[in-house]
Amino acid sequence: MTVTMIAAGILGLLLVILSVRVSLVRRTGAVSLGDGGNPDLLVRIRAQANCAEYVPIGLILLFLAEQLAGAHWAIVALGALLVVARIMHPIGMAMPAPNVPRVLGTAGTWTAIAFLALICLFHGIERALA
């Protein structure tokens, strides 16, 4: 559970940072709902929302995989990949597309989630058949 706790702590702080970035632009632009036609606010909203969309399933899968396999090097590596990818993605969102941080952030997130899902699936099937 240690890997998941560290990843959850880092990703929780990332979500707070992304949320504050949205709030700052909302406040200065007097936009209480939506993006008010402000392209910078739209990008910040999507970076925050994307984090909120992918992090929960990533952490659930990481937790389950860690419970099944322990803090095995592969679980640590996938947890690290998830965290680094989630940090890279909003950096890339702030840059003109396409760009390397956004692409690597997306690909890293999908890779980590896919491998964690496969670990959970295979261990779940193995336990169900035992």
- The answer to whether the predicted template modeling score (pTM) of the entire model surpasses 0.85 is yes
Q: With a cut of 90, say whether residue 26 has pLDDT above it.
A: no
**Range 40-65 average pLDDT:** 96
Q: By three-state DSSP, how is residue 40 classified? A: helix
CB 36 within 8 A of CB 29: yes
Interacting residues of 26 by C-beta distance below 8 A, sequence separation 6+: 32, 41
Six token digits for residue 22 = 């949205």
Chain mean pLDDT for the chain:
94
| pLDDT tens, residue by residue, 88-128 | 999 999 999 899 999 999 999 999 999 999 999 999 999 99
Query: Helices (DSSP H) in 70-96: which residue ranges?
Result: 73-93
CA pair distance 72, 54, nearest whole angstrom: 23
Q: What is the pLDDT of residue 59?
A: 98
**Range 21-28 average pLDDT:** 89
Highest CATH level, class, for 2-129: mainly alpha
CA pair distance 44, 93, nearest whole angstrom: 8
Q: What is the pLDDT of residue 33?
A: 82
CB 51 within 8 A of CB 84: no
